[in-house]
């Protein structure tokens, strides 16, 4: 029986096709295809032993050991898991690293039970190349970058746009020392795949936030980041009080709620405090000892007031952190962009910038037709 295949076409990702990743969990953790579920042929220790057999004795010995390790009730349980998933997702497709032996074995075992599903030609590797190619293609599309001082709700603006690319959302990090998420960050490969999956939906003008290349634990792919560097800027300008209210929501209240959902009220609040205090400590070299100690005192007082039901007290350390550290740093960054000849498309308040981004998108979209 000839086992069916499908080409490694990114439309599989764009269409949200259910994918069964039969690689070992350690491989899956290093980066998977979007929407894939890990139902491995071999677990990590089994794969390790088979790999040693392959290196020392060749392919035939490795296959023999694999069949020995995954046999009997172990094999029955894994076939049952694949069948159960396919029963719930009848159009599922199978893949391994290169679309070779492992996915073929899974196909054959399923076919032996009367269930035939295709595998991806070239497997994970081939489809990943297609996703990376989409990112490189997107670097040639019209691009607008949303800039502005910390607290100007640039990410909120991005997410109001149908063509917005939320890089911080894909990275699960808000981009500053205080931007860590309670959830573990994605690996570099998963970040790239999330970005590519979003780009598959957008063939016209794109709007991103003005970011540094590194966002938390991951890096924006070089071709796309260079396009971001060249992109015209849309600069949001909002007063300090407005920005502090935004930061209060993003970095205090939302962060506290996220931690409490994961760990409960008491431990969640404790972890939120630890994250904010550690973030401040990491700025020691840039702030200097005297300024750091002053902000730490203000932060400690704010935590006490927060426990008493007054989270507004955090403004006491957030305001000087903005005006004395983040704002001067951003203005220096802005001056360097101007010196490099980066165009400013529009400067204004949040609402006018949202309208300008939509106007730019319509205008550029019409030019592409």
Mark whether 96 is an active-site residue: yes
- Residue 251: the pLDDT is 87
CATH topology of domain 5-131: Oxidized Rhodanese; domain 1 (3.40.250)
CB atoms within 10 A of CB 299: 20
Domain ranges of the chain: 5-131, 142-368
Mean pLDDT score, 290-298: 95
- Residue 368: the pLDDT is 63
**Each residue's pLDDT tens digit, 36-65:** 999 999 999 988 998 888 888 888 888 888
- What are the structure tokens assigned to 27, written together? 């491989």
DSSP one-letter code for 311: G
Does the structure show a pLDDT above 80 at 174? yes
Q: Are 332 and 134 in contact (CB under 8 A)?
A: no
Non-local (6+) Cβ contacts of 87 within 8 A are none
- Residue 182: the pLDDT is 87
Q: Across all residues in the chain, what is the average pLDDT?
A: 93
In whole angstroms, give the CA distance from residue 112 to residue 13. Answer: 28
Does the structure show a pLDDT above 70 at 19? yes
DSSP one-letter code for 177: T
How far separated are the first and last CA of the chain, in Å rounded? 47
pLDDT above 90 coverage of the chain, percent = 81
Query: One of 96, 152, 269, 353 is an active-site residue; which one?
Result: 96
Does the structure show a pLDDT above 80 at 283? yes
**Each residue's pLDDT tens digit, 298-350:** 999 999 999 999 999 999 999 999 999 999 999 998 888 888 889 999 999 99
- What are the structure tokens assigned to 210, written together? 């003005």
- What are the structure tokens assigned to 161, written together? 């746009």
Does the structure show a pLDDT above 80 at 369? no
**Each residue's pLDDT tens digit, 115-148:** 999 999 999 999 999 999 999 999 999 999 999 9
Per DSSP, the three-state class of 158 is helix
């Amino acid at each position: 029986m000839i086992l069916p295949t499908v080409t490694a076409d990114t439309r599989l990702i764009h269409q949200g096709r259910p994918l069964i990743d039969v690689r070992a969990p350690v491989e899956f953790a290093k980066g998977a295809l979007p929407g894939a579920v890990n139902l491995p042929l071999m677990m990590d220790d089994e794969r390790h032993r088979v790999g040693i057999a392959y290196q020392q004795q060749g392919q035939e010995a490795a296959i023999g050991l694999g069949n020995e390790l995954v046999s009997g009730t172990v094999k029955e349980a894994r076939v049952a898991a694949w069948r159960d998933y396919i029963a719930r997702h009848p159009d599922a497709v199978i893949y391994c690293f290169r679309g070779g032996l492992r996915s073929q074995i899974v196909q054959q075992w399923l076919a032996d039970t009367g269930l035939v599903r295709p595998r991806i030609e070239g497997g994970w590797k081939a489809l990943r190349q297609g996703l990376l190619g989409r990112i490189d293609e997107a670097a040639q599309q019209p691009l607008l970058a949303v800039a502005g001082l910390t607290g100007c709700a640039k990410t909120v603006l991005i997410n109001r746009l149908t063509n917005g690319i939320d890089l911080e959302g894909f990275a699960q990090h808000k981009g500053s020392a205080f931007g860590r998420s309670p959830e573990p960050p994605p690996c570099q490969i998963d970040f790239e795949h999330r970005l590519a999956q979003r780009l598959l939906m957008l063939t016209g003008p794109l709007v991103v936030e003005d970011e540094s290349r590194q966002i938390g634990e991951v890096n924006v792919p070089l071709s796309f980041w260079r396009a971001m560097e060249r992109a015209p800027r849309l600069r949001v300008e909002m007063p300090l009080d407005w920005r502090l209210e935004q930061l209060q929501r993003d970095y205090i209240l939302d962060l506290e709620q996220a931690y409490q959902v994961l760990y409960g009220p008491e431990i969640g609040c404790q972890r939120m405090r630890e994250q904010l205090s550690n973030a401040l400590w990491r700025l020691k070299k840039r702030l200097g000892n005297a300024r750091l100690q002053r902000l730490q005192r203000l932060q400690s007082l704010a935590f006490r007031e927060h426990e008493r039901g007054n989270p507004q007290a955090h403004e006491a350390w957030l305001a000087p952190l903005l005006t004395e550290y983040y704002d001067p740093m951003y203005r220096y960054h802005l001056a360097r962009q101007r010196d490099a000849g980066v165009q400013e498309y529009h400067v204004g308040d949040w609402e006018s910038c949202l309208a300008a981004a939509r106007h730019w998108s319509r205008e550029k979209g019409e030019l592409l037709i």
